[in-house]
Structure 1
């Protein structure tokens, strides 16, 4: 009788552990997106100010709008999924090769961003990657404040028509 009792007890215990394991697994994998962190409000505002100083003829940054929108879902923005801090900005413009017609070149040039780089980027304390390559900043100087982006590991400003002098804060 004691052997039957212990087998029955072990069997129900195994079922309980199996159900618990399945429940935990379901919590971990179900609707992962709903558990992602939203962007930080201060960083969203900083990106809005950054956008305000840019010239965007093609409206490439149309998703960068709305008082309640999640900046982590905006075009070109990558956030840390746990903290919600902006980690990367990818705003590469189109590359204009040699084999394009005048009409194609004109259209591609409209796709390029221009204007000025706002110091509001300094509010993105976790920014590690900034790519503004292949845009047209009309030979303005690279702002020295970029050297103060403490976590920045990758900066790509190539083919973006910045002034020739690189500020000493960046070097």
Structure 2
């Protein structure tokens, strides 16, 4: 049997190893979230009718691979001054280009609501552009619209019907 001092040293060294591994993993995760793409990039911009959930340092992805970063998201006035627009500036790997046939979409990256810009190339080659207008962008999905669309159905239901609906939804999930 070993002495209490040896036991304390073993336990302390195990805690220290776990602590060091935790710090290293934390640094790795933070760097993955913050680091820009490590290749030569070009700057682009796009206008979206809704960019909620998209923030600077968000990813720009092409077929699931990170190829750029969002550099800024600003609220601006549209050309007709009737609706505000989200003006998004981002960088993109110089191996990829944005053309007048490219479509950009804001998608969910994970279950916590973090979003990214998805680059969808056009079916045909086009001329290179530096700005994508709203007619070539797909705004972020607004779940409030979905629930507002269910409102007329939910108003006609009584408590028993709502409970049954909830149970069925939970069973489905």
Q: What TM-score comes out, normalization by structure 1 length?
A: 0.30
